[in-house]
Structure 1
Amino acid sequence: MRKLLLTVGFLALAIGLLWIGQGTGVIGWPPSSFMIGQLQWAGYGATSAAIGLILIWQGQA
């Protein structure tokens, strides 16, 4: 169970950080992404990253 929490947590954190970067326009990859420059996706990314951090924290316990 611990490995699963850590794996899912790190994936959620990585995806969340990517979405934050795309939503704020800092990351322009892939160039054809509809999420680039859309602040709504930065919010989704922050939520995903927070959930990922919680899962990582729970996996450490």
Structure 2
Amino acid sequence: MDKQLLPSSESLDLTLSTKQDITPALRQRLNSAELFGTGNEVVIEHAGEEYRLRLTRQGKLILTK
């Protein structure tokens, strides 16, 4: 009977860390304080549509169309 072995957590961690090492170079990082300034909402235009990114009183982010 053939048994398929799942990758060990050690090899899985290696795979994830490799992806994590590559991904940040492909992403731009913005600080929310720079993005919001003194306000609590920004408008993002994407594909001709407007989206609103709001900062709540609890410090969470909400994105709405």
TM-score, length of structure 1 as denominator length: 0.31
Structure with the bigger percentage of strand = 2
Higher relative contact order (CA 8 A, sep 6+): 1
Indicate the structure (1 or 2) with the bigger Cα radius of gyration.
Answer: 2
